[in-house]
A and B are shown apart, each in its own frame.
Chain A
Amino acid sequence: MAATEQTIKQVNTLGSSDYKYGFSTEVDEIRPPKGLNEEIIKFISAQKDEPEWMLEWRLNAFKVFNKLPKPQWAKLNIPEIDYQDCYYYSIPKSLKDKPKSLDEIDPEILKTYEKLGIPLKEQKILSGIAVDAVFDSVSVATTYKKQLSDLGIVFCSISEAVKTHPELVKKYLGSVIPVSDHSFAALNSAVFTDGSFIYIPEGVRCPVELSTYFRINAMNTGQFERTLIIADKDSYVSYLEGCTAPMRDENQLHAANVELVALDNAEIKYSTVQNWYPGDKEGKGGIYNFVTKRGACRGKNSKISWTQVETGSAITWKYPSCILQGDNSKGEFYSVAITNNMQQADTGTKMIHIGKNTSSKIISKGISAGKANNTYRGLVNILSKAKNARNFTQCDSLLIGNQCGAHTVPYIESSNSDSMVEHEATTSKINEDQLFYCQQRGLNSEDAVGLIVNGFCKEVLQHLPMEFAVEAQKLVAISLEGSVG
């Protein structure tokens, strides 16, 4: 494939070989022409054998998209996106006829996941993590399916759920993030390709970590992930998503929508390790990561906790939020965002307190190095009915070098006098004396930075599932390589 060879060559000359996940995979792909229009939406829907109602939903979302202006509030420098110059669907040919078991999957694709450290082969999956892997636009394999279905847990791709659990999808899809929320939400609703669907039945504690692995492989392909997680009464689930993309000269778009619904006494823990290709040192290439993540604590005593480690992407724009509807419900947001070189991140959360005695906690750690810019943007909104609502927010920023920036933009709106909102913020430079101390003990300058930054992020990292905490620590160190000395 000429295009792929060309990319590999380009990548080799880029010199940003530091990005460990930057290889691309040679597979034949099915890909309709570039451009965003009703035809492509019909094509996507047809490829997925979707029922009529799903197509209608998409087409309606597209109409909404065309009417909405682009969101303007982030402190980001976003180049004009030409939606017509982008592919909206790409699947490896070998996956078209849905492989029944892992043996039928193109070995090249399995190899890709192995290189990423995510073996899909059943015998290798021992660690108690069920993985759904999304390669460009389709879900490759969902492991552990049998064990989960015995408990009544549904864990499959959203495309599959549209067919197998239409009543749940119809009821909840778009119920947390309305199509008309903003233009990226509408765009995603129109052209979403794949993502995970999870339903945990009443009273079930999901015994394993559920996990999805997203990878953008094809050139010029936007990835429109759609994930929907529903935790029924008295249930619990912990979910983790990881993301990587190969190095490409041009920018790629990732516009995900993730919706969570927690009913009475249910708890959802959602963790993200985002390591999309950030672009090279001069800011060429990289993923535009425009993500809408929102959780609704619908039931009383329900809880939703977001943990994110954002180290990749050229531009990150995301605000995982909680709508605290149910009385006594809890929302949490733990975030590490690292920007190096020319990366930009504008991330934070919104906590909307509606029910009585609702509480929220926000811990944000922003690290900037190189010429990068890092903004925490958060909203704590306490509505008048939210008696005794509580919020605690702590935002710490760490600067490495003299050319980077950190900004904290906390909005607090409270219409309830019983409520209590606490906000603490610090900004500091990495301490030279700490670095010297570590180096005097034999750590090289990069390891020293990695160690100190990991210490700075500890409060957040310790909320990740155990299996991923070590990986995340390494990622924190890797993403800051070249930031000192």
Chain B
Amino acid sequence: MDVLGAVAASLFQFGDTFAFLVLSASGLAIIFGMMGVINLAHGEFIMCGAYVTVLASRAGLPLPAAILAGALAAGLAGMVVERLVVRHLYSRPLDTIVATWGISLIASQGTLILMGSTMQGVGTPLGSLEVGGYHYSGYRLVLIAVALALLLALYLFFNRTRFGVLARATIQVPHMAEALGVDTRRVYSLTFGLGAALAGLTGGLYAPTMTMVPTMGATFIVEAFVTVVVGGADVFLGTAPAAAVLGVVKAGLTAGYGQLFGQIGLLVAVIGFIRMLPKGISGFILRERA
């Protein structure tokens, strides 16, 4: 019984880390993988989703609806940013980094001015349950399920829907997609919006577990970038395996030696990965297959 309990506890620990990595990274991974844009405002889209979720929830919306509102708001903000800034810089990747960094500063400082340095949050729902002598947060179990469902949904979206097929065509050979009648600008705009909406969803999902401050996006950003770097450009072949591997490393070290060593181990693992697989896990898989 003790052993089973301990196994369940480490599984939970791993699932919790895995979910956090997947949810932090998916929006960033889609924007990077589909468009080659490194979006340094990713954390602020997360923050936007979290703030809108909390405001909507305090205004009386049930939490799931409030989270969707947060995702939607971040997605719309993303499409506006794409239209006004990113679109003009597609051929200049370095400038995109600087521009999105600027947007990130404006968004977090703007929020600080408008909303103050902290905002009252919403409590974590669902309480906790006890299994084999260990206590688990019910809400965190839900987050694990959501992360898995999100991976499945994204896979189906990009492989089974018409838009998904057109979006993949657009990343693979942009001029050819355009010549076949695909409005590639619109594809880029919607893809950026989707990435931002996923960031907003993440913010909304974690909002009940966090303190609401304008810089809260920074909590996610290291994990998000680390996962995307290890995963490489392909969302499905990269992000999920990277989150799994890094989840094992981080959850293992955190359980054994505490939070700090978990974080250090994560970063050391990333350095190792970059040395061995410079194009990330998906780059490796694709080369093997080609």
Asked if A and B bind, the verdict is no
B residues lining the A interface (CB < 8 Å): none
